Amino acid sequence: MKKQPKSWLVFSSLAFQIGIVMYLMVSLGEWVREKWEIISNWPTLVASFTGLVVVVYMINKQGKRY
What is residue 60's predicted lDDT score, i.e. its pLDDT?
Answer: 93
To which H or E segment does residue 33 belong?
A: helix 7-35
61 burial (CB, 10 Å; 0-12 / 13-18 / 19+) is exposed
Cβ contacts of 59 within 8 Å, gap of 6 or more: 14, 18
Return d(Cα 32, Cα 30) in angstroms, integer: 5
Residue 54: CB atoms within 10 Å: 16
Residue 49: how many other CB atoms lie within 10 Å: 12
pLDDT values of the chain reduced to their tens digit, one per residue, 66 residues: 677 777 778 788 899 999 999 999 999 999 999 999 999 999 999 999 999 999 999 999 988 877
pLDDT value of position 33? 97
